Structure 1
């Protein structure tokens, strides 16, 4: 099957959405499918307000239509709700083509934090966007139920996985600082609540891996913290192995791939008992969940690292990708397939 995925999130961004799409594409190709991506790299872009590291496509409609026609897909998946996602949705509706969508991020919460826009406004717009799809894929059952309560229809579960060969137990000598070592990995942005971790009075030392719009301010405010910037996956695996606890202070993530990466290396997690950590870790699992994040960090120190690894081994990218494939709506199911007019250069 020829599968087209449209996404506003792509390189050089480093986040869970990009990583999920890369892993899913690789797994689908291994299963014998042809997968094409339409990303901002193929369009003129402009910086996202308040987040210039993210580039948004400028007036992509005509060029997107040309690429879509040239590829001639059997199924279309719209991964994001940005300019490319909006243009793809418009094209599909205009031509009577079924499509699926995905809900990756708590966009309304992010917008409220940055601009003060009420959640009801953002969720109302998102419900209209996604309800035109044959299925909207969400990462956990808890997120599915939350979206249904907010007026989303046809919401299904599409879980996540972890690369157990890259992220595995190894040498614990990578970070040279006082133990215990507490680590955060992810975007350094207001919606990630990173300062809740940085402000804690913890023994040992703290490390941050990642970058984002709040990085410069937080670096200046917490000079005692060790900052590593953006790392590749093998470097991250070395960090997770060296850490005694992985701290996940976010209250707005829908899943949190970094949770699985840390656990696959045997590193226990400290987090708030909210959607994401609860679904990935469970209330009595390879981590400590507590509204008191300080207490969670200390409790996590006592968790057996082998048990943490065993828990992570239950998450497979192969299984998650087959789940994704099962939710797609090929055009043969009530719609005529498109005719390809050559292959677009990517």
Structure 2
């Protein structure tokens, strides 16, 4: 046997051992996660209330969205630096960019001074906003499309030494690399996906891979990426997880101290995404859906493999072959762009591919649905489309992933979940058809109530504002009775 083959076998065995270790850790994490349910969290959370002692927000064990922060003008206006790889351009934006836009527009509306350090090509411009306190500091991206760290750091230092320094620094994922961030104590990083979660996504995609497709080689690289993240994540002062599950991983697997990990669930603009029966009916009429008893299912986002469109396509294809009457009983609306758009069109005239929609059109799209479906295979982050549909009063159906079942679809009263397989998805779709519109409307109302309570942009922004006030406050402010890191829990939150 050659040295080369021996080396390959050794590397493979070492990788298998590493995956086994990760699996063991994951199992322990899952058991801990399962054993400490939401009720367990709340029981621990309200123990200080019995002693009439305000809670310490830096040790708050679950999502800050559950707290009711004041809607009054902020007690202190902040100068905030924001690092984000790209700023959203019209409807061409991913979840990270949409989060940056929604959050910082809301904070600017609250009166805070926002400075955005981002990349911009020479032929693009930034939209104008009604808030004069939105300041952009663009830079040409690197050849690989990333932020030029040396340039944005220079821009940041100039702003940080003029007039007054930044009260807080916020980076969307690695917009500001850890090599720079390690020197900033008043910094918070929002993670919209971490490598440990991505391994789960890779495994799912490998399982649904068709025989004619090449085997993925990303698993080995991803395992190494987890180790790298565990090493450099502690260099960021504070971490914001966008799902309860991600927060649990950061604390248990990445071993970040609990007082530096904070869960703030994503939020969407409740002024745009809200129930509007009239606009939904008008949207149906304009795209040619007749007034009939047919159920309308919808999907939105990038039409690519990791968003689950291979299993959704196959599930619909099998259902149409099993029952030819289904093409009259249901309509499927697909909002988005990507390679799976043309394939959906092959399923028949009742599958309508609408392309990417502007936010106002997207809001009308949700209102035209009876149920929203998200078949994602991505186990990381918290998909905005689910939240938008819930605030629009629609029941949701999504893959049974920890981030979704732990933070979004926590009970069957608001929607449906399925395993990331064609068979499980097909059964869930048949369940929807069996339940009918009446049950779906009831589930949609429960979903709307939860969405309004947790996933509104104002709710998210209020939580971030309090976190930013907390990590920016100096000791003398705390000594003077302005400790923003402590929160008096009102009686209605017991």
| TM-score of the alignment, normalized to the shorter chain, above 0.5 | yes
Are the aligned partners of 2:303 and 2:340 in contact in 1 as well (CA < 8 Å)? no
- The structure 1 residue matched to 2:461, chosen from 304, 307, 321, is 321
TM-score normalised by length of structure 1: 0.82
- 1:47, 1:199 → 2: CA distance? 38
- The structure 2 residue matched to 1:162, chosen from 268, 276, 279, is 268
> Which residue does the alignment assign to 1:3?
80
Assess, with a 3 A threshold, how the Cα gap between structure 1 residues 307 and 331 changes in structure 2: closer, same or farther: closer
- Higher relative contact order (Cα pairs below 8 Å, separated by 6+ residues): 1
> Which residue does the alignment assign to 2:372?
246
- 1:312, 1:298 → 2: CA distance? 25
Per-residue deviation, 1:257? 1.4
Per-residue deviation, 1:43? 2.6
Per-residue deviation, 1:26? 1.9
- Alpha-carbon RMSD across the aligned residues, in angstroms, is 2.7
> Which residue does the alignment assign to 2:472?
330
Are the aligned partners of 1:135 and 1:327 in contact in 2 as well (CA < 8 Å)? no
Q: Secondary structure at the match of 1:100?
A: strand
- 1:70, 1:147 → 2: CA distance? 33
TM-score normalised by length of structure 2: 0.59
CA offsets 1:104-129 (integer angstroms, 9 cap, x no match): 12456289567514332122222333
- 1:96, 1:182 → 2: CA distance? 47
Q: Equivalences for 1:200-279 in 2 at 5 Å?
A: 200-201=315-316, 202=319, 203=326, 204-211=330-337, 215-217=338-340, 219-220=342-343, 222-224=345-347, 225-251=351-377, 252-278=379-405, 279=407
Q: Secondary structure at the match of 1:164?
A: coil
Q: Does 1:126 align with 2:225?
A: no
Bigger Rg over Cα:
2
Q: Equivalences for 1:14-53 in 2 at 5 Å?
A: 14-41=93-120, 42-45=138-141
- 2:333, 2:356 → 1: CA distance? 12
Assess, with a 3 A threshold, how the Cα gap between structure 1 residues 294 and 219 changes in structure 2: closer, same or farther: same
> Which residue does the alignment assign to 1:282?
410
- 1:232, 1:299 → 2: CA distance? 31
- 1:242, 1:107 → 2: CA distance? 36
Of Structure 1 and Structure 2, the greater helix share is in 2
Are the aligned partners of 2:299 and 2:374 in contact in 1 as well (CA < 8 Å)? yes
- 1:276, 1:221 → 2: CA distance? 27
> Which residue does the alignment assign to 2:23?
none
Runs of 4+ residues over 6 Å off in structure 1: none
- 2:339, 2:399 → 1: CA distance? 25
Per-residue deviation, 1:231? 0.8
Work out the number of aligned pairs and report it: 318
